Amino acid sequence: MRYGINADAARIRPFPGGSGRGVACRYARRYAPLVTMPTTVPAYGNEAAGRLASMADVTASNGALRRFLHGLPGVDAVGLQARAATLGTRSIKTTAKAYAIDLAISMIDLTTLEGADTPGKVRALCAKGVHPDPTDRTAPKVAAICVYPDMVATAKEALGDSGIHVASVATAFPAGRAALPVKLADTRDAVAAGADEIDMVIDRGAFLSGRYLEVFEEIKAVKEACARPDGPAAHLKVIFETGELQTYDNVRRVSWLAMLAGADFIKTSTGKVAVNATPPVTLLMLEAVRDFAAATGVQVGVKPAGGIRTTKDAVKYLVMVNETLGDAWLTADWFRFGASSLLNDLLMQRQKLSTGRYSGPDYVTVD
C-alpha cells in the first residue's frame, strides 16, 4: 500500500503555527522537523524507515507520547473552517466534472453494515459495485465492498476477479467496546475469510482519558493481526469517530498517533453517529497526512465517511485533496469515500452529462 510519493505533484503548504509552554513546548521544538513542512516530500525508503526508527522514543511511554502529541501546533479553528469553506466554493464544469464524477465513483467503498444484512443483499451490492450503471458499461467500478466479517467470504466469492477489494469492519465496530483479544480475533477472522482491508475503530474512551499509548498499542496489535502467512497483509484503516473527539486538536493528535502506529488509512467516522465527516475535519486530517509524509516520507490514505451524499459534496472533497496533497493522493489507493448513498447521485449526474437529461432516482438501484 505504501509507495514512493510523487514529490512534484504533492504541493506542501504549512499549517498555522501554535504556541506552547514548559515541557510540551520544548518537546515540540525538539521534534520541529516533524511538524514543519519542507517544499518537497522525501521518497519512502531506507531514509524514511530511519526517520520512523528515530521517533521510537516518542512512543516509549505514555508520558512521552502525550508530550509529543500535546506539543503539536494547536489548530486555528477559525482559519481551518474558513479554508474549508473557501475550497468548497470551487466549481468545475463539463469535461473536468465528468472526470471528477468517474474518479469519485472509483473511490467509493460501497457499504452495507446492518443487522438485517443477508448473503443475497451482499451479492446484489457486489453486482452493483462491479457495474454501477447496468445501462452504461463505461461507468467505473467502485474501490471496495465493505461488510461485516461474517459476510466477507460471500463478498469475496461474488466479486471474483473483478479487482474490487473486500473491506471488513472489525474490532467490535462501531463502538469498539470489547477486550483486545476479542478485537484481534474479530480481525483475524475477517482476514482469514479473505478481507483485503480492515476498518478498525479506536477506543475513544481511552484516547479521551489520555491513555494514548494504550490506543497506540492496540492499533499496532490490530495491524499485526492483518498479516497473512501466505500472502499480502490486509491494509488497515483506522476509524476515529471524530464526532466524539470534542476538539480539532484531538483530531490532529489522533491522526498522528494512528500514523505512528502504522495505519495505512485514517478514517473520520463509522457513519453510525450524529456527526460524521465534515469538510473542516477532513481538511485537518489531510493536513496531518501531508505533514507526516513530509516528516517521514510515508504516504497514508484518508477516508471521510458518513454524510457525503451529493456529487457537489464529492467534488468539494476532491478539490480539498488536490489543493492540500496534490495529484499523488487522487487515486483510490490513497483516498476513499465511505458514502454508499453518494453513488446513486454520481450516477444520475453522469447520465445527465452524457444524455443532457436528468433521469431521477427511479433509474438507479436502491441499496
pLDDT tens track for 157-191: 999 999 999 999 999 999 999 999 999 999 999 99
Helix 94-106 to helix 311-324 angle (10° resolution) is 90
Domain assignment of residue 278, yes or no: yes
Q: What is the mean pLDDT of the chain?
A: 86
CA-CA distance, 216 to 207, in Å (whole number)? 9
How many separate domains does the chain show? 1
Cβ count within 10 A of residue 38: 12
pLDDT for position 41: 39
65 vs 135: which has the higher pLDDT: 65
Residues assigned a catalytic role? 199, 267, 303
Contact between 224 and 180 under an 8 Å Cβ cutoff? The reply is no
329 vs 26, higher pLDDT: 329
Of residues 171, 169, 195, the one with CA closest to residue 114 = 169
* End-to-end C-alpha distance for the chain, whole angstroms: 29
pLDDT at residue 43, rounded to an integer: 43
How far apart are alpha carbons 191 and 183 in whole angstroms?
A: 13
Give the ranges where the chain is alpha helix by DSSP (H).
22-30, 46-54, 62-70, 77-87, 94-106, 119-130, 152-159, 180-192, 204-208, 212-225, 248-260, 279-296, 311-324, 340-355
Mean per-residue pLDDT for 330-354?
93
Write the single-letter amino acid at 282. Answer: T
Identify any residues that bridge with 199 across adjacent strands, giving them in sequence order.
Answer: 169, 237
71 is a domain residue: no
**Model confidence at 57, in pLDDT bands (50, 70, 90)?**
confident
**Distance, C-alpha 292 to centroid of its chain:** 14
Per-residue pLDDT band at 21 (split at 50, 70, 90): very low
310: its cell numbers: 451529493
pLDDT in tens, 269-297: 998 988 899 999 999 999 999 999 999 99
pLDDT over 60 at 44, yes or no: no
**Residue 6 domain flag:** no
CA distances from 76 to 33, 149, 248, 277, 292 (A): 20, 39, 9, 19, 19
Is 10 contained in some domain?
A: no
Taking the CA atoms of the chain, what radius of gyration do you get in angstroms? 20
**126, 145 contact by CB (below 8 A):** yes
Distance between CA 230 and CA 8 in Å, rounded? 36
Q: 83: closest CA among 323, 330, 292, 329?
A: 323
Beta carbons within 10 angstroms of residue 52's beta carbon: 17
As a whole number of angstroms, the distance between CA 367 and CA 364 comes to: 9
> Which triple of cell numbers denotes residue 345?
447521485
**Cα pseudo-dihedral 279, 285, 289, 295, rounded to 10:** 130
Domain that holds residue 331: 77-363
Q: What are phi and psi of 209, to 5 degrees?
A: -85, 0
Q: 291: closest CA among 30, 89, 41?
A: 41
Q: Are 198 and 170 in contact (CB under 8 A)?
A: yes
What tens digit of pLDDT does each residue of 206-239 get?
999 999 999 999 999 999 999 998 889 999 999 9
What CATH number corresponds to the domain at position 140? 3.20.20.70
What's the pTM? 0.85
In degrees to the nearest 10, what's the CA dihedral of 136, 196, 223, 107? -10
The pLDDT tens digits of the residues spanning 66-125 come to 999 999 999 999 999 999 999 998 878 778 999 999 999 999 999 999 999 999 999 999
